[in-house]
Amino acid sequence: MLVALLAAALLLLSLLSIALGALSIPLDQVVRALLGHPSSRLVDNVVWTVRVPRTVLGLSVGAALGLSGALMQALTRNPLADPGVLGVSAGASFGIVVSVAVFGVGSLYGYVWFAFAGALATSVLVFLLGRSGRSGAAPVKLALAGVAVTFLLFSLTNAIVLTDPDALDRYRFWSAGSLADRDSGVVLSILPFLAVGALLALATAPALNSLALGDDVAASLGRRLGLVRLQGVIAVMLLTGASVAVVGPVVFLGLVVPHVARILAQYAGLGPDHRWLLPLSAALAPCLLLGADIIGRVVARPVEIQAGVLVAFIGGPFFIALVRRRKLAEV
């Protein structure tokens, strides 16, 4: 029943995402255009050139961020963890401003690869710092290394943008977190990274159930903790790095959605099984991202409010409510 409801919600939101915007298209015309029988050339062009790539990007990026958020919380055993803990957003930000300020890159196709490279390089650096010492890649060490690298890179990023107006303009547009103005070529370029990251993340689900019992218990069950965490970190940096590089940082999505997935799994009688929690997070996050993107297109016509702004607006109070609920449950 839960799977059917999520599938219906994703289908409805996808159709609304294609139908609504500065030019509203009736749902029957949307369906006809998708089936290859558009009512006009304008409708066909808007649907396939603008709205379908944007919707597919929202679905894929939302699923990636939700999946990586659930994975990060499981790896660190920290309910407040999100993909930004590994410095992914900070690395992508630094890559963009370096590409503009140093190399003079002026197009999305150019700086998106610098953002992706920065995200991957930062994640690798955080993992290497976090695994140094006798205890290896412990959750607390990974989180601390991520916070330290994040603050360092944000300081360097701010130093560059304050002295380069072009870098500031590019960074300001990207940092809002938006699905707009991304064509099918950009979407297709990140899908292989997202697919590999999703497979790696889902493959860690049985090991994550063991990690939830503690490192000692997981090791006694035959889990190779270092290998599991390395696989998880690679999955997070592929999923989050590719997503953040294209749409910018979308805060709260990877933080809030896993909590909602746990609540739904509990009510559905599925328990804290990551074989269910990861797919649920991957299905719920696109619902929130597409919903925010649709609202942003409708409430301020003809201009748009970026999806990242609305996700933060919706996710912030919701997360506060979740934290308060958690504290009350512990009293």
Helix (H) or strand (E) run with residue 295 in it: helix 274-298
Q: How confident is the model at residue 161 (pLDDT cuts 50, 70, 90)?
A: confident
Question: What distance in Å separates the CA atoms of residue 4 and residue 9, rounded to the nearest whole number?
Answer: 9
The pTM score is 0.88
* pLDDT for res 322: 65
pLDDT 10s digits, 285-322? 999 999 999 999 988 777 888 998 899 887 778 777 76
* pLDDT for res 135: 61
Phi, psi torsion values for 77, nearest 5 degrees: 50, 40
Cβ pair 73, 81 in contact under 8 A: yes
Q: How confident is the model at residue 139 (pLDDT cuts 50, 70, 90)?
A: low
Q: Which tops the pLDDT comparison, 108 or 219? A: 219
Quote the percentage of the chain above a pLDDT of 70.
95
* pLDDT for res 331: 39
CATH 1.10.760.10 fits 41-73+84-330, yes or no: no
Choose among 64, 71, 70, 13: nearest CA to 288.
Answer: 13
pLDDT 10s digits, 80-131? 777 777 788 888 889 888 888 888 887 777 777 888 888 888 888 887 887 7
Amino acid at residue number 277: L
Question: Mean of the pLDDT values across residues 173-182?
Answer: 83
Helix/strand/coil percentages in the chain, nearest 5: 80, 0, 20
Say whether pLDDT at 329 is over 60: no
pLDDT 10s digits, 17-64? 999 988 889 999 999 999 988 888 899 999 999 999 999 999 999 999
Say whether pLDDT at 68 is over 60: yes
Is residue 181 packed enough to be buried (19+ CB in 10 Å), middle (13-18) or exposed (0-12)?
exposed
Q: Which tops the pLDDT comparison, 285 or 211? A: 285
* pLDDT for res 323: 65
* pLDDT for res 330: 47
pLDDT 10s digits, 223-255? 877 788 889 888 988 898 888 888 988 888 888
Q: Taking all residues of the chain, what is their mean pLDDT, rounded to a whole number? A: 85
* pLDDT for res 328: 44
Core vs surface per residue 237-257: b (16+ CB within 10 A) or e: bbbbbbbbbbbbbbbbbbbbb
Say whether pLDDT at 187 is over 90: no
* pLDDT for res 136: 60
